Amino acid sequence: MLSCANGAENGSKKLGMALMGLGYYSTDILAPSIQMCKNTYLAGIVTGTPEKAKTWKEKYKLKDENIYNYENFDEIAANKDIDIVYVVLPNGLHKEFTIRAAKAGKHVICEKPMAPTAADCREMIDACDANKVQLSIGYRMHFEPYTQEIMRLAIDQDFGDIRQISTGAGFNMNSFDSWKSKKALFGGAMMDMGVYPLQAARYATGLEPVSVSAQTFKIRPDKIEADEVTSFQLQFPNGSVANCETGFHANFNYLKVYCENGWYELEPFSSYNGIKGSKSKGGFEFPEVNQQARQMDEVAWCIMNDKPMRVPGEEGLKDIVVVEK
Task: For CA atoms 50, 56, 61, 65, give the dihedral sign.
Answer: negative
Q: Read out DSSP for 83-145?
A: -EEEE-S-GGGHHHHHHHHHHTT-EEEEPSS--SSHHHHHHHHHHHHHTT--EEE--GGGGSH
In the predicted model, what is the mean pLDDT of the chain? 95
Q: What is the model's pLDDT at position 184?
A: 86
Question: In whole angstroms, what is the distance from residue 129 CA to residue 106 CA?
Answer: 12
Residues 255-273: pLDDT tens digits? Answer: 999 999 999 999 999 999 9
List the pLDDT tens digit at each of the 325 positions of the chain: 333 334 444 446 899 999 999 999 999 999 999 999 999 999 999 999 999 999 999 999 999 999 999 999 999 999 999 999 999 999 999 999 999 999 999 999 999 999 999 999 999 999 999 999 999 999 999 999 999 999 999 999 999 999 999 999 999 999 998 889 998 888 999 999 999 999 999 999 999 999 999 999 999 999 999 999 999 999 999 999 999 999 999 999 999 999 999 999 999 999 999 999 999 998 899 999 999 999 999 999 999 999 999 999 999 999 999 999 8
- pLDDT of 2 reads 37
User: pLDDT tens across 191-219, in order?
Assistant: 999 999 999 999 999 999 999 999 999 99
Q: In terms of CATH architecture, what is 145-286?
A: 2-Layer Sandwich (3.30)
pLDDT of residue 12: 62
CATH architecture of 15-140+292-323: 3-Layer(aba) Sandwich (3.40)
Relative to beta strand 211-217, strand 67-68 is unpaired
At 10 the pLDDT is 44
| Residue 126: per-residue pLDDT | 98
**Alpha-carbon gap, residue 46 to 100, rounded angstroms:** 13
- Check residue 112 and give its pLDDT: 97
DSSP strand pairing (262-266 vs 249-259): antiparallel
Which pLDDT score is estimated for 178?
87
Domain boundary assignment for the chain: 15-140+292-323, 145-286
